[in-house]
Every structure is written in C-alpha cells, then in structure tokens.
Amino acid sequence: MNKIIRIVSVALCVFACGALHATSCQAVDVSYLQYEDTSLGEMTTDNSEVWTWNTYHYAMGNKQGGVEGNLFTPALNLAGAESVTLSFTHTHKFAGTPAEEMTLWVTADYQGSYASSTWHQLTIDPYGTNNDWSWVDVTIQVPVAYAGANTVFCFKYISTATHYAKWEVKNVHVVSTCPESNDAPVALPDVGDGRLKIFAQNLQNYYYNYNTGRGDYTPEQRAEKTRKIVDAMLWVDADIFALCEVEAKPIVLQQLTDSMNARVEGNPYVAVSDGIDEDWSESNTNNIKSGFIYRSDKVKTVGVNHAATTAYYYKNTLRIQVFEELSSGERFTVSMNHFKAKDNTEDAGHAKRVINANQLLQGLGSYASDPDILILGDLNCEVGEEPLTIIENAGFEEQLIRYNGASEYSHCYNGGELIDHVYANASMAGQITGAGVFHISTACGSDASANRDHRYSDHDPYVVGLNPESTHATECEEINDNFLATGGTGLGGMYTESVSGDYNWQYNSQYGAKCVDKGGEDWLLTPAYDLSMAGTVTLSFDHTIGYAIDMPNQQTLWVTSDYSDVAGSEWKQLTIPTYPSGTNWTFVHATVNVPLTKVGANTVFGFKYAVPNDESTKKPTWEIKNLQVSVTCEELPSGVEQTCDELQPTKLLEDGNLYILLPDGRRYTVIGVSVQ
C-alpha cells in the first residue's frame, strides 16, 4: 500500500437546525510517506536523483554539487477552507544553513511545475539539531489565503558547493476544515453542570490500515467516517474521550487527534500513549484496542496506561488510565473496555464475558492508583446478565440507568439495547453530575431519521458529567495487606514497570517475585495507599539474592507519597536493614518502619532492581516473598516529650512551631523545639 489518502466531499445536508457544511468547501484529511508505504506514493519529484524513497520508511533528499530538487504533494482542493494544517516529521544532518537548504512552500494554483507556479514560503520550526539524526515534529497552520482549488505543498532541497545535507521527511499530514454549524442535528444529553465531560463510544472497526479483512472500506470512506466521528466529538465538547473497537495501532488515535486539533485553536487534544502497536506484517493486523484522547488544557494523565489483564487480545481492550483535573488537582481512574462480543446464537461468549468482568476488577485492584473509579465500555451485556452482576456486586452502580431509567439504549438490534455502560463506585458516583446517550449514530429511536446522514457506528456515544472531589481519608484506617505468598498464581495486586532492559519482575510460585536483568532498571510496585492519617506504617518481607554485586545500591526500596508513575513521581529511599549474603540463596527477613514524613494520600512502595549494562556474565537474581504492608492508628500520648526522629513531624507551620498530625485530625505540638 503506497499511500493513505483521505478526501472528504461533503454534500449539502439540511436539517431543521440549518446547513451542517458549506457546499463551496471540501474538507480534506490526507496522509503521505507513512510507515507502511513502499515508495513515494502519490508524492512526486522533479529530480529523482535528489528525492528517493528509503527502505527505512521515509523520503530522503540528498545530492551534492549545487543541485535543486522538489518533492510535491498531490494537488488538493482547499477552496473555501476555514483552516488548513500541515504536519510532518523530519530530521537532517550535514547542512550548512538549514533554513536556506531545506525549505517548505505552498501554491494555491499549481501549474504543473515549480517554475510555472506562484509559491509562498512556510516557516519550518523546529529544524532539529543537525547532528544526531533525532526526528522532530512540525505542525504549521497554513494561512488560508495561500490555499485554493489546486493547492500543492513543496519540500525544496538545495545543495551548495560546500554543503549537501541529508534531509529525511515522513508522516506528511494535511487537514482542512470547512465553515460549519456548531449545532448537532439531534439533542445532546443533559449531564448537569460538571466541570468535566467524558465521551465514550464503540467506533465499530475504526481503522487506519483499512484493508484488513475486518470492516474494510476505501480511503475515501475512512475519511468520511473520520469526519463524522470528529463532528460528534466536537459537538459534545468533552475533555476526555474513551474509545473502543479501534485498530491496535498508535496512528489511529493520532489521526482523530490531528483531525480535532485542525478544527479548534491551540491544538489542545492529545492521544494517550499505550504501547500497543500490532505489527503490520503479522496475521493479527485486524486486532482492536481501547484507548483515550484528552484535552490537555483541562486534564492530564497520571501514570502509565495499563492493561487490566495479561491475556492475549483482551490486554488491548481492557484498559485503565488515571487522570487529574488541572484546576483542582483532583484525580480519578477511568477504565475503557470491550468485552467479548455476542453472536446471533447467544452464546459461547458468555463465559468469556464473565472472565472479562473478573479480569477487569482484578486489574483495577492493581492499577487504579486513585480510588474514584469509572468503568466505561461496550460490555456486550444488559443489566441482569452475570458479568454485570459481578461488577455491581463489587460496589459499582450503572449511571446511564440511574439518570435515564431502564429504557435507555446505546445499540440497535432488537429495537434498542443498553450494552454500553457507565459504572461508578460509591466515591465516584457522588462526583457525577449526569450521564446520558447521544443518539447520533444508531438507527433506532425517535432520532433515527434526523441522524441518518451522520451515522458512523452501530453504537451511540454516551457522555458523563463530572465534578472531581477529594476523597482523601479523614480518619485512619487499619491496614494489614499481604502479597507474594508462595504457592500462588501471580503478583496478586502488585504490578511492575520496566524503565530499561530486556526483562522485568515475574512471579514464581516457589520464590515469590523474582527479577534478573542483563542490564536494566525494573520496579516492583505495591498498590496505592492513602496514608495521610496513618499512625504507624511498617513494611516487612523476606528476600534473597544470587550473584550479588552491590545490593545496597542495586537492590533498593523506595516510597513516594504522590504516585503518578516511576518517572513522574518523587521517590524517597527507605533503608533495608537486613540484606542476604548474596551467595547461598538463604532468605532473610527485613522489617522497615516507614517515617510518616514520607507517606501521604497516594503512597506507593517500590522495590527497584537496577544493574549496569556491562560485560558481567552473571547478573543478580533478587527474590522477594511474604511482603506485608501494615498500618496502625496509634495516637501519640499527650504531654510526653519525644525526639523529633520519634515524632516524625508532618508539617512545619509559618509561626516556626513544629507539629505532627494525629489520626483524628488534631495537631500535636512538639514543645521546646526551635526550628530555623
């Protein structure tokens, strides 16, 4: 496949609310020089000795001797466009003056050659460093005055007598939008006055690699579907978009993100990176995933995007992400899911959906670093079926039914069924201002005729209003959690994150958790705890090691009071008081009394395995079992003098006095301490 091209021709669609798109404008969404291409594709050059296609999936300009070569996009009809955006990725080396030797131009009326057309230069920013082959992304808002009915973009390469750069270009993307009405043809759901809105939907086989055998459609049909999806997203004007049944490639969510950003100011939308990238060459290229897009001026992600299970296929469709509202700093956990589909015989998939429900709950227990949890997705069940009963028995309430009653629907099969759901646990439900279905896509119900020209999926999107609120502990809670017992089947609530290297922590039924890496950094992490009101915090565990090199520096224990992910958290080291010999595989017991100054509302403990990448033939093997996290709610006795180390003070007030916060919220003053 040489190129992916998306051109949308929009006819006049008149509803009671007026014309949706102007007939004089043709929206465009096209891509060239993509990873899966095998040639320049639809792009052309007037000097094939300068511009060539490289087998590493990019176009390269390179020729010595004071020569010029131009690389052209196809002609695009951008007449009447409201906005035009050009983006691409490039790198270069050996240039003398990059801004003179590698330039970008546009003409509104291409006449078949560079010399016969009138060109306007566009500013490339950034160019990159010119010395390390690092790829950089460029996004240009093209003045609409430069666009017309026969628009061509040109990458111009010029070498000089003293310099001839190597310029590499890929991922060229042009998006234009047309003037349009902001009114949706059907009513938006009333979700109250929440500060945030979440949009969720099954997009019915939304693919970039359109020739997969699953939901095949032409590039033009894919472009039309993209436009309709983005219409719906922008009508809702949500802050988080949770999507399922999209192709398991990063480019798919990025395609939607680029298309939304082309139609609003400031490029606010960002696709969440999830590490899912199914190989184009494998037979599983029709795999789907669930994913997220968010508005970066309203929320941010916290931590990495997690799979709720390690099971093949469903590790892509059961996903968990924590978000934080920028204005308040409050966090919440969102899970987007696609359970096993039903079939017409109903159904061998029931047992798999039961497994999906249990996998999801187990994953949330491990990876929901904020306790306010929202479960979304195409769960392929109606209320009353066993998989949903499992979720409800775990303390979750269906919000679409809560706000709209049992007659609500999101899918049309037998006249309208609710198989897409919004489940909230008790702490999250109190923060929801409303939830409802936006009937823009399905073919049943009273809105069916009004939305017929806007359908892009067999599922309607649904919307949740949210006012995030703090749910931090107001009193101490006794904790006695146990992990990594031998004879089990997995890490059991703990999770891992590999920063570098080829290996990671794994569970061994005989030894507990085990890590050996030939040169890397791997973390074994506890669930998050709210320890803001704790009296005492203790960690105890058994551990051993083989082939030890430098345990106090390479096998260490850390804690953070505000966990986001390994890289984004502020870690404080805890001293492991007892290390094994490192030579005889004998387990030793260690007990760590954790200072209260090092814990807080979002506390995570991390065992860090870090060894250098050197020529050592044997690398340490660290094993940990019988981990216990213990929290008590003991109060300090009043009137008893203690040292600062014993008190572990939690706050220094402006008056210079030193205080410790007691579990019931009272402050205990440390008498006779002068703080400088």
**Domain residue limits, the chain:** 14-177, 196-466, 479-632
- Listed residue (298, 296, 308) closest to 334, CA to CA: 308
- Which CATH code for domain 14-177? 2.60.120.260
285 touches 261 (CB < 8 A) = no
652 forms bridges with which residues in the sheet?
Answer: 658
CATH of domain 196-466: 3.60.10.10
At 106, give phi and psi (nearest 5°). -140, 145
Report the pLDDT value the prediction gives residue 161, as an integer from 0 to 100.
81
Domain 196-466 and domain 479-632 have a common topology: no
Tell me which of 2.30.30.30, 3.40.190.10, 2.60.120.200, 2.30.30.180 is the CATH number of domain 479-632: 2.60.120.200
Choose among 540, 563, 518: nearest CA to 366.
Answer: 563
DSSP conformational letter for 180? B
Write a three-state SS string for 233-279.
HHHHCCCEEEEEEEECCHHHHHHHHHHHHCCCCCCCEEECCCCCCCC
pLDDT of 431 reads: 97
- In the predicted model, residues of the chain with pLDDT beneath 50 are 1-24, 280-284, 636-657, 659, 661-676
- Token readout for 210 is 């359109």
Closest CA to 78 of 4, 21, 8: 8
- The predicted pLDDT at position 370 comes to 82
Handedness of CA 94, 99, 100, 103 (dihedral sign): positive
**CA distances (Å), 9 to each of 29, 140, 217, 372, in order?**
11, 23, 16, 44
Cα 553 to Cα 545: distance, rounded to the nearest angstrom: 14
> Which residues have a Cβ under 8 Å from the Cβ of 318 and sit 6 or more positions away?
290, 307, 308, 309, 335, 337, 338, 356, 359, 360, 363
The 10s digit of each residue's pLDDT in 190-220 is 999 999 999 999 999 998 776 666 666 677 7
